[in-house]
Structure 1
């Protein structure tokens, strides 16, 4: 979440008038994250998240995301479907951007998850994969392995301003991942970005799975690997918790199942996930507008993770 596009109180009040949600009481920009512009909106009836989709989210992909959220909500999963206006529309226009009003879910995101919380989150991811077994729409992964080398080239040698030699280090790691990437594992609709800040919890209970705007059709086990890279380490990519990592995999295995072939592929999938997030963070680090209300994320935190997975090939055994 972030704020790139400013929304006036007058424009927001007019936007809300299309819905049966009450009158505007307050709105506050949310600085966390890097993808879209987000506001916490209180009305006389309820609380919502207003999301304006910035350039990384294509307007043509929004029907897929909305359909996926509606499908998961219909299966009883704790996801926030978009609110429909009086004309039964979910996707609107606001300040020149596609926009949606999304139901607010209770809970807090974690900075240092415990094994018990990781177990619950792994179970929740397994629940998502089970629920989408009959979900028919598909979407190519816009940040999948086919996009990593072009993104690396777009970042170019400017990456060396982040750390000397970073471009060459990532290029060599990507060579190895492309060579070893699995081609025959089960695919389906995945979240592809289920970091701790995209999981809301109360105690050890998952109360919300949010930010599905990288959701796509890709290798299911890649979703597990993304979670492992983001949940197991601290914010700097250091001090991996074996207990958290093991609990995450155990929770997923309990609720959905992890085959021997999928488990064997997790080391390369995790290295790929590290490259993906290192590159997107590097691009944002180098290109985020100076006046954007946004918290940039350190790409070197994913270099540290990548180095750990390279040195610990048997971490998933």
Structure 2
């Protein structure tokens, strides 16, 4: 259950009174999500999502995220839109936590993405990159290549407890990526966490993108690499080139890739696999005894990484330029 902070009726009513959203009809916690406390609100006017930002979120980053959502929505991207309070503020305080209200987005995420879902994702990701091109805010990617070694060091040399030889595998990959990571690729606002549970569909139609709380400024092609990892491997962790081709075709139909981006895709995909291997590894090693949370298996991303290590050109992902 992704509700870490409980909210009393009195606190909630006081908070909602500061917004012109109508009379509250119902209020319940949302089980999905791992970073913040989320609630679904129904009023006599509409439905909304109330988010309380927990301690892992830097409050200084919140204006970047909330203003970005408003900017993207004005540009026509389907995403939650922040609701301003009666005094025009997008961010308030509830139960001792920073809190914001956003519009409710209809749709469901798909547990087993099909090829047509991957095409729709590619289109929406390219639209996001174009819509955010003139966003004035800037946020450095805290989990870019410069952040991976410090994260690995926080694992305290216990990687081999998870899998024999994992420490050596990660150390060697870090050495390689730090030496060869591409620079000066076309960049701007990226989502950086477009996993299937952050992409909503109504039937076969993509209805919107959610959860922008890893959004940052980085290479557009890195966002593509994250999605190749998140959407194009099957349950047995075999790579589905048909899904990858569909994702890339959807993307390039909206925004063309430069030659440099094309050539960089294999190493970016390796980096994206290592990034999620490391965050999962850190979480796996950090769960306190008796906790009810089950961390995600880091070794799933080790297997993805090993696939990308065999790739020489983007043709392996179904993209021909």
TM-score where L is the length of structure 2: 0.92
Q: Secondary structure at the match of 1:255?
A: coil
C-alpha change, 1:10 and 1:313, in structure 2 (3 Å) is farther
Corresponding position of 2:274: 275
Corresponding position of 2:238: 239
In 2, distance between residues paired with 1:42 and 1:292?
A: 32
Corresponding position of 2:51: 51
Corresponding position of 1:91: 91
Corresponding position of 2:204: 204
Pairing of 1:124-139 with structure 2 (within 5 A): 124-139=124-139
Q: Which runs of 5+ in 1 are unaligned?
A: none
C-alpha change, 1:51 and 1:241, in structure 2 (3 Å) is same
CA RMSD in angstroms, aligned pairs only: 2.0
Q: Secondary structure at the match of 1:311?
A: coil
More moved, 254-263 vs 305-314: 305-314
Shift of 1:288: 4.2
Deviations 1:52-92 (A, max 9, x none): 11233211111111111111100111011111111111111
Deviations 1:190-210 (A, max 9, x none): 111111111101122111111
C-alpha change, 1:69 and 1:155, in structure 2 (3 Å) is same
Shift of 1:294: 5.1
Q: Which runs of 5+ in 2 are unaligned?
A: none
C-alpha change, 1:99 and 1:72, in structure 2 (3 Å) is same
Corresponding position of 2:307: 308
TM-score where L is the length of structure 1: 0.93
C-alpha change, 1:295 and 1:206, in structure 2 (3 Å) is farther
Pairing of 1:20-169 with structure 2 (within 5 A): 20-169=20-169
C-alpha change, 1:282 and 1:209, in structure 2 (3 Å) is same
Given that 1:2 and 1:295 are in contact with CA atoms closer than 8 Å, whether structure 2 keeps it comes out as no
Greater RCO, 1 or 2 (C-alpha within 8 Å, sep 6+): 1
In 2, distance between residues paired with 1:26 and 1:166?
A: 48
Shift of 1:290: 6.5
Corresponding position of 1:251: 250
Deviations 1:153-184 (A, max 9, x none): 00122333332332222121121111110012
More moved, 296-305 vs 141-150: 296-305
More moved, 297-306 vs 73-82: 297-306
In 1, distance between residues paired with 2:71 and 2:86?
A: 21
C-alpha change, 1:261 and 1:294, in structure 2 (3 Å) is same
